[in-house]
Chain A
Amino acid sequence: MTELMIEAEHVRKVFGDVVALDDVSLRVPKGTVMGLLGHNGAGKTTLVNVLTTVLPAESGRASVAGNDLTTAPDKVRSSIGVTGQFASVDELLTGRQNLILVARLLGASPGQARERASDLLELFDLADAADRKASTYSGGMKRRLDLATSLLGHPEVVFLDEPTTGLDPTSRVSLWEIVERLVDDGTTVLLTTQYMEEADRLADSITVLSNGSVVAAGTAAELKADVGQRTVAVTLTGESDPAAALESLRRKGLRPMNEKPQRALTIPVGAASDVAVVVRALDDVDAEVSELNVHEPTLDDVYLALTRTKTAA
């Protein structure tokens, strides 16, 4: 078995009479990215706060990098890097001073701190702005500085709480690339996001939170297979007979969503090879196709489906 770097079991957190986290369990193997999806107030940040020892859990247990959160919080803090939703940089200090400060607090000597700060400034494309006050940085630069600060101590586990919220597309992509490189080097990442695209690209596995509970977990592909459906949308030409086409499709065992014959037909399919079955069924009755599209389920579908059922219940 691969080593688990984050392990949470039945974590519960209550604020007054609001249940922020209810029986949340998750496991993240070493060197993988866990994407935590959920709308505002779903409990994402609370879970990050609990896992980074900032908030104590009401009940349940959790360990990060093999250290229990309650019995060895300092060991946990030494092995993690955290980038919060709002850039936590000291705007009165320069980028370099920010990095040196945190490196020194992590236990680096002044020399080590300076060296590591220079390396990271270079790496995060901040070398030119290194000696400017952070208050003059753009949003993207502050985020990069924030992330660089989180990586100072060579953390084994990195928590990124909505790291790209409010960033322009270029900054977003460059941040994704940094995360991918980190993971290549064996770092474990827990990432919260509202963007399905981000989870789809970065996360090896995804946990969907809604109102403090886990409503789904699995790989992006598994979640899509569970909830979303691949469909084929065909539009027939005016000369074709929609009724014959519908009949032929049903004969092949397909179940078009259309009740009545129409020129535009939507057919749910299982495997990708079923698309060929659709084409053959239409061919059998000489139905001419003017347009054919295959719709792959997206995480958006998954997310909407999951949160909708949750609110309905």
Chain B
Amino acid sequence: MTTTTERPTRTDAPADAWGGTSMVTQITVLTGRSLRALRDPRMLIMSILQPLIMLTLFSQVFRSVAESPNFPKDLDYIDYLMPAILVTTGSQAAMWAGVGLANDLKNGALARFRTLPINMMSVLAARSLFDMVRNGLQLSILLIAATLLFGFGPAGGVLGVLAALALALVIGWGLAWVFLALAAWVRNLEVMQMIGMVAMFPLMFASSAFVTTDSLPGWLRVIAEINPLTYAIDASRGLALGDPSWSPVFGALITSGVIAAVGAVFAFRGVRKP
């Protein structure tokens, strides 16, 4: 033992037994690596803070929306708002997948991965999976807070809420690939966060997230009605309120899939460049 551990010899272990590994193992190992970051709860707390503040503010400030003539009768504003918060928070969190990848590109972890016998798609898939787990945690905390503090309890019941949560996760996952592609090509955290803000913020407000589209002024209504986020929010709301309309649900799922696929192609090509 003493003689073999002193030198990095090629003969002290069955080297050739390590003949690479399957993509499933690669993705599992790499996702596990990222999950360790969750042991430091500061990141999670920071990322939950903003949506929590938004939830508090919007549920109080926009409360009067529920009294406007266009608003559905007998509906609590929190039950109307929360499914939208799930979708918008989930979409905004997609940016974090890009941030994680950009960090890996900067600190050299990606440089190492490029020289290993692994598929770079595993690296990206692990990032998007991890992001989904984190997003799931974040949205679950938000749901608990909304239920306990603001009396969230929509007609769809637990199942409806879980379906809305799942939908928000799929949408966030699809968008995560856009940010992975951005990170792979732009490789600059500030620029990426800027794009994320500029793209997401107007989309969020010019939608059915906080008010019914009928109550928006004409030009804004036009934007809101072609805004893909409106469809995603309507789908989530339908599920939570126990009145699902399936075409926006499938629309949101298919759109997310297409966005993910396109994002994946660009991310894969970008991430291989040193």
Contact = CB atoms under 8 A, between A and B. Distances in A.
Given A107-B17, A120-B8, A123-B7, 17 more contacts: A55-B274, A78-B18, A78-B117, A82-B112, A86-B111, A88-B108, A90-B109, A105-B116, A107-B19, A112-B18, A115-B13, A116-B13, A119-B13, A156-B10, A185-B10, A186-B10, A187-B8
B5 interface: yes
B68 to A, nearest CB: 48
A49 interface: yes
B15 A89 contact: no
Contacts of B26: 105
A149 B112 contact: yes
Interface stretch (B29-37, B47-55, B130-138, B258-266): B29-37
B157 interface: no
Interface residues of A, number: 48
- Give the most central of B30, B117, B118: most A CB within 10 Å: B117
25 contacts: A52-B115, A53-B115, A54-B114, A55-B274, A74-B117, A87-B108, A89-B107, A90-B33, A90-B104, A97-B33, A104-B21, A104-B25, A104-B29, A106-B18, A106-B20, A119-B5, A120-B8, A123-B5, A123-B6, A123-B8, A154-B13, A178-B8, A182-B8, A185-B9, A187-B10
Contacts of B30: 105
A49 B21 CA distance: 23
Contacts of A154: 9-10, 13, 15
A108 B7 CA distance: 20
Interface in A73-117: 74-75, 77-78, 80, 82, 84, 86-93, 97, 101-108, 112, 115-116
A226 interface: no
A154 B8 CA distance: 8
Interface string A174-217: 00001001101111000000000000000000000000000000
B21 A93 contact: no
A204 to B, nearest CB: 18
A234 interface: no
B136 to A, nearest CB: 21
Nearest to A76: B117
Nearest to A185: B9
Contacts of B10: 154, 156, 185-187
B112 A77 contact: no
B8 A151 contact: yes
Interface string A45-61: 00001001111000000
A187 B11 CA distance: 11
B109 A153 contact: no
Contacts of A92: 36-37
Interface in A145-181: 149, 151, 153-154, 156, 178, 181
A23 interface: no
A274 interface: no
Contacts of A115: 13
Contacts of A108: 18
A122 interface: yes
B107 A77 contact: no
B20 A107 contact: yes
A153 B116 CA distance: 10
A48 to B, nearest CB: 10
A181 to B, nearest CB: 5
A131 to B, nearest CB: 13
B154 to A, nearest CB: 39
B116 A89 contact: no
Contacts of A185: 7-11
Nearest to B112: A88
Contacts of B115: 52-54, 77, 80, 82
A88 B33 CA distance: 15
A91 B13 CA distance: 28
A24 to B, nearest CB: 18
Interface in A29-76: 49, 52-55, 74-75
A178 B10 CA distance: 14
Given A77-B117, A88-B109, A181-B8, A101 B29 contact: yes
Nearest to A124: B8
Contact of B7 (A107, A112, A116, A181): A181
- Give the most central of B33, B109, B112, B272: most A CB within 10 Å: B112
A78 B18 CA distance: 8
A107 B7 CA distance: 22
Contacts of B18: 78, 103, 106-108, 112, 153
Nearest to B18: A107
A88 B107 contact: yes
